[in-house]
Amino acid sequence: MIVVSYCSETAAGTYNTLAASDIMSYLNPDMAVSIKPNLVVPGPASNGAVTHPEVVEGIILFLKEAGVKDIKIIESSWVGDSTKRAFEYCGYNELAGRYKIPLIDLKGDSCTVLRYGEYDISICDEALKTGFLINVPVLKAHCQTRLTCCMKNLKGCLPDKEKRRFHTLGIHKPVASLNMLIKTGYCVVDGICGDLSFEEGGNPVVSNRIITGRNPLLVDSYCAELIGYRPDEIGYISYGKEIGLGEYFSQNTKLVELNAASKPAHDIRADRTSDKYKALIDEDSACSACYSSLIYALHRLKREPRAKGKIHIGQGCRGKSGAGFGVGNCTSGFETHVPGCPPKATDIIAALG
């Protein structure tokens, strides 16, 4: 079952979407509930990168009315950024203070190693010990995986070292395996104004919808189609189906639409910005923050980059050397490189321009 609400008032819309869903079939008021938003970078949700605090507020109001007393918000921003800064700049300090709910920065959490298939994965203990995890991603594009939504949002439950390692493993299979180890209680997707070009925001596309469902793969497959991808085009969704995480959205899926008269008339489609620049890049196990800075820089440059040959980037470049152009600290052996972990897009633009 998937419930979609088209709403102009975000907190109330989120509450109403949950009220129309089947969440209470799985949630016991005595459970300890952890809410996991996407606060990848510090900044306003209107930029299209982070979960609106109003969405989380609607969830809190629903949980409190349902009798849930043990509620916390857990998150870890992407590698190279501060979760505490994100809590502040994204409006979560004020939200947590108003409802007296603890904010847990997973960057300081202890971890447990669990195994699924061929992968041993170190996972933050707060994500494992919770009684009911509510996964609250933003529906947006991603420069490496095309879509980031429910399944990939759980990557924020990893320590930074493990986030980096996921990229050396090819990202897709580890993400699907992670979802077999962390059990999502329910998904609430912020589809208010996600960026359909870059995961770090700046190009928001207003959609004004909240999407809920129990199974992260089912919800992700629905969201993939919504922005113009087949589920099989997203590697971690395809592999997740293969290992039994869930089924794709289909005509057999129960779909409930609330306030359908307010559904935006325009389609929301990813513009596949990152695909335009892949021919220019030699990427080897690059972290998302680094790769995203490069894609954004190339997009802003709006002309042929000055670098001769392909642009090198990624952890696999450590120890390599040559006359080429590199991006990030891992490419320090190349004749020319832009330092940083991650490097700033402005520095990349200056070097390439």
Residue ranges per structural domain of the chain: 2-262, 273-352
Distance CA 285, CA 238 (A): 20
Residue pair 244/169 in contact by the 8 Å Cβ criterion: no
* Structure tokens that stand for 91 in this block: 């409006």
Residue 353 CA to residue 347 CA, distance in Å, equals 10
CATH 3.40.50.150 fits 2-262, yes or no: no
Say if residue 303's pLDDT is above 80. no
Smallest Cα–Cα separation from 23: which of 200, 229, 187, 156?
A: 187
pLDDT (mean) for 219-241: 97
pLDDT at site 15: 98
The yes-or-no verdict on residue 302 having pLDDT over 90 is no
Listed in order, strand segments (DSSP E) in 182-315 are 184-191, 209-213, 255-258, 281-283, 311-313
Residue 95: what pLDDT? 98
Distances (CA, A) of 57 to 37, 38, 47, 188, 260: 11, 14, 19, 12, 23
Which residues neighbour 50 within 8 Å (Cβ) at sequence distance 6 or greater?
Answer: 37, 38, 39, 40, 41, 43, 44, 86, 90, 138, 201
Rounded distance, CA 217 to CA 175, Å?
11
Q: What is the pLDDT of residue 269?
A: 84
**Portion of the chain with pLDDT greater than 70, in percent:** 100
Closest CA to 291 of 79, 48, 116, 74: 79
Q: Is the pLDDT of residue 16 over 90?
A: yes
* Confidence at residue 100, expressed as pLDDT on a 0 to 100 scale: 97
pLDDT at 263: 87
Average pLDDT over residues 201-213: 93
Mean pLDDT, rounded, for 143-165: 96
What does R_g of the chain's alpha carbons equal in angstroms?
A: 20
Task: Report the pLDDT value the prediction gives residue 184, as an integer from 0 to 100.
Answer: 98
Instruction: Give 292 or 4, the one with higher predicted confidence.
Output: 4
Mean per-residue pLDDT, 64-80: 96
Mean pLDDT of all residues belonging to the chain: 94
What is the structure's pLDDT at 48?
Answer: 94
pLDDT at 276: 82
State the pLDDT at residue 201. 85
Q: Quick one: pLDDT band at residue 330, thresholds 50, 70, 90?
A: very high
- Residue 305 is given by DSSP the state -
What is the structure's pLDDT at 129?
96
